[in-house]
């Protein structure tokens, strides 16, 4: 553990709005316990769980204990440690539309400040629907919750709006109460270890950064695939779709991390400035014809995996049987700047695909044809693969002579980060909660990042809304609509196998599949 990682968050009261919900149970309670166990959360903190339903402190703490037992990478088997931790948790039923409840909450907060010697710092975590962000913020202000001598920070979950117009309206509401530097918009993909490692990989290795441009890179492929369907989220997903649920946030953020210029300093605002510049460089689709040429919109139909039948999207619970919502998105995008001019970025995400993975593949340009070894061998391009999820690591493919033969073959080397840390790899929410508690905003999205991403995807959504793009179906368990392969084939490329698919013709130097 580095000295930087070990720094404890500042003493604060954490307000968890939506404390009886799924996000708190699966992610937030386990994250807080892990931080406490590792010394990143000192004794000068308190957590107030807030929701409509009545609950005693004892019931709330029992919920937290059950959550940790089921979802945390650490177990609460040290009774003394658990009791110290649980003492910091209290619960208060709250009607978020009633400002008097916030005044009562303010009185409870002052009591906890005194009890745990907290210097008046407040972190408000809104695990709520976006339409409630504004009203809750106004009641926090009007209920006297922002008048303490310490800092105030607002952490909010995606989706941040439904389009650029609704996002602007939401941001206007929040900015009446909080300053931009006090607003922490969570995209949990920015908390993933290998996404954060992109910066280190690029800017601390002399044999990567000089090649990170259109003179040496042929294309970039970003895949975020899920094997699950919409599960119990059919009602929400049918109003959202892959474009809003995955592309506007996760995919755009990973693209920006890959494409950004080196920041002048390792300072949150300088890093986020460069991400915004990258998103501003995205070439917008100007017409419906351009959207149809570069974008694929898909929806899974009935299929099967390993002989197990899978229903189609339109047969899922709470989904309109005539729904045109996309469960699959693929696109070819370009960044019109000096570094990336002419390099296609291929992005794809979807549900009911064969493999659960998130990977970024950097394909380098090949050596000149018919020169030296390329004259006698069919050489494959070099690849750098950043594996984000579920296995974390880096995979490199190069050409080398096959031992005992004259053949030149692809060989692979892999750094498996997950193998180093095993099951105790920190969760994304741990990192992000820890960062928010320290005021470290690098891996939270700034308003202008959100606005740029929305302005790009809104053009696509507008074409779809006007009925100018066909919906293509793909069997559940497949890699999406057939045309997805053609998107790359038009440019002379193909999708590279992703995590879980081993290339038969590759020799592993060490550590890889046998």
pLDDT of residue 377: 61
pLDDT of residue 298: 97
Active site residue 294: no
Question: Which residue, 127, 125, 196, 179, is CA-closest to 447?
Answer: 179
CA distances from 180 to 253, 433, 444 (A): 19, 18, 12
Confirm if 472 and 297 have CB atoms less than 8 A apart: yes
Question: Which residue, 135, 125, 145, is CA-closest to 174?
Answer: 135
Q: What H or E segment, with its residue span, contains residue 486?
A: helix 483-489
Contacts of 331 (CB under 8 A, 6+ apart): 247, 294, 295, 296, 346, 347, 348, 460, 487
Residue of 476 and 467 predicted with greater confidence: 476
Q: Round to whole Å and give the CA distance between 327 and 284.
A: 22
Order of all β-strands in the sheet with 122-126: 89-93, 45-51, 12-17, 122-126, 152-156, 183-185
Three-class HEC string of 394-431: EEEEEEEECCCCCCEEEEEEEEEHHHHHHHHCCCHHHH
Q: What are the pLDDT digits (tens) for 233-286? A: 888 899 899 999 999 999 999 999 999 999 988 788 999 999 999 999 999 999
pLDDT of residue 371: 57
pLDDT of residue 376: 54
In this prediction, residue 497 has a pLDDT band, given cuts at 50, 70 and 90, of confident
Mean pLDDT of 397-426: 70
Instruction: Extract the tokens encoding 218.
Output: 């042929």
Q: Round to whole Å and give the CA distance between 418 and 410.
A: 24
Contacts of 231 (CB under 8 A, 6+ apart): none
SS3 content of the chain, % helix, strand, coil (to 5): 40, 20, 40
Q: What are the pLDDT digits (tens) for 146-165? A: 999 999 999 998 889 899 99
What percent of the chain stands above pLDDT 70? 91
Confirm if 310 and 304 have CB atoms less than 8 A apart: yes
Q: Round to whole Å and give the CA distance between 78 and 258.
A: 42
Helix (H, G, I), strand (E, B) or coil at 107: helix
Residue of 281 and 194 predicted with greater confidence: 281
Mean pLDDT of 368-375: 57
Candidate from 30-34, 365-369, 459-463 with smallest mean pLDDT:
365-369
- Which entry of 88, 188, 216, 250 is annotated as an active-site residue? 250
Confirm if 152 and 178 have CB atoms less than 8 A apart: yes
Question: Which residue, 441, 433, 392, 385, is CA-closest to 413?
Answer: 385
Q: Which residue has the tokens 């310490």?
A: 150
Instruction: Extract the tokens encoding 262.
Output: 């080196």
Q: Which residue has the tokens 């920190």?
A: 426
pLDDT of residue 500: 52
Delimit the CATH 3.40.50.720 region(s) of the chain.
3-157
Q: Round to whole Å and give the CA distance between 187 and 209.
A: 26
Delimit the CATH 3.30.360.10 region(s) of the chain.
190-510
* 3-157 placed in CATH 3.40.50.720: yes
User: What CATH number belongs to 190-510?
Assistant: 3.30.360.10
| Whole-prediction pTM | 0.91
Three-class HEC string of 192-259: CHHHHHHHHHHHCCCCCHHHCCCCCEEEEEEEEECCCCCHHHHHHHHHHHHHHHHHHHHHHHHHHHHH
pLDDT of residue 1: 35
Q: Round to whole Å and give the CA distance between 419 and 430.
A: 20
Confirm if 350 and 226 have CB atoms less than 8 A apart: yes
């Amino acid at each position: 553990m580095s000295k930087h990682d070990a720094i404890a968050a500042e003493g604060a009261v954490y307000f968890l709005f939506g404390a009886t919900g799924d996000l708190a149970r699966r992610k937030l309670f386990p994250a807080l316990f892990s931080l406490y166990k590792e010394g990143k959360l000192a004794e000068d903190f308190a957590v107030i769980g807030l929701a409509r339903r009545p609950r005693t402190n004892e019931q709330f703490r029992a919920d937290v204990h059950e959550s940790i037992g089921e979802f945390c990478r650490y177990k609460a088997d040290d009774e003394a440690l658990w009791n110290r931790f649980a003492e910091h948790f209290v619960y208060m039923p709250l009607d978020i539309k009633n400002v008097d409840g916030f005044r009562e909450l303010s009185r409870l907060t002052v009591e906890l400040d005194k009890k745990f010697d907290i210097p008046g710092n407040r972190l408000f975590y809104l695990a709520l629907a976006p339409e409630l962000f504004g009203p809750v913020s106004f009641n926090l202000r009007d209920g006297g919750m922002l008048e303490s001598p310490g800092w105030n920070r607002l952490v909010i979950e995606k989706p941040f709006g439904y389009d650029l117009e609704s996002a602007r309206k939401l941001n206007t509401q929040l900015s009446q109460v909080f300053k931009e530097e006090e607003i922490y918009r969570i995209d949990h993909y920015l908390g993933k270890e290998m996404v954060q490692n992109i910066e280190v990989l690029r800017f601390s290795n002399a044999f990567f950064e000089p090649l990170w441009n259109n003179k040496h890179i042929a294309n970039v492929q970003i895949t975020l695939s899920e094997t699950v369907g919409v599960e119990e989220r059919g009602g929400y997903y049918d109003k959202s779709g892959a474009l809003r649920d995955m592309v506007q946030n996760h995919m755009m953020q990973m693209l920006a991390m890959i494409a950004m210029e080196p920041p002048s300093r390792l300072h949150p605002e300088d890093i986020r400035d460069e991400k915004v510049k990258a998103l501003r460089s995205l070439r917008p689709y100007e017409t419906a014809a351009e959207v149809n040429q570069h974008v694929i919109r898909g929806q899974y139909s009935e299929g099967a995996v390993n002989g197990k039948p899978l229903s189609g999207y339109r047969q899922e619970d709470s989904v309109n049987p005539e729904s045109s919502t996309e469960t699959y998105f693929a696109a070819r995008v370009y960044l019109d700047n000096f570094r990336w001019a002419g390099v296609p970025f291929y992005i794809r995400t979807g549900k009911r695909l064969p493999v659960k993975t998130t990977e970024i593949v950097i394909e380098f340009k090949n050596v000149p044809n018919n020169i030296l070894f390329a004259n006698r061998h069919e050489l494959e391009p070099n690849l750098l693969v950043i594996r984000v999820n579920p296995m974390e690591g880096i995979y490199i493919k190069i050409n080398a002579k096959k031992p005992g033969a004259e053949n030149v073959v692809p060989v692979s080397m892999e750094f498996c980060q997950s193998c180093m840390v095993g099951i105790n790899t920190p969760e994304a929410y741990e990192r992000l909660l820890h960062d928010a508690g320290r005021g470290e905003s690098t891996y939270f999205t700034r308003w202008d990042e959100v606005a740029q991403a929305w302005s790009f995807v809104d053009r696509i959504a507008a074409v779809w809304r006007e009925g100018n793009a066909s919906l293509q179906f793909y069997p559940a368990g497949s890699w999406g609509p057939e045309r997805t392969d053609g998107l790359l084939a038009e440019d002379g490329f193909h999708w590279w196998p992703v995590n879980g698919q081993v290339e038969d013709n590759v020799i592993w130097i060490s550590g890889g599949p046998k």
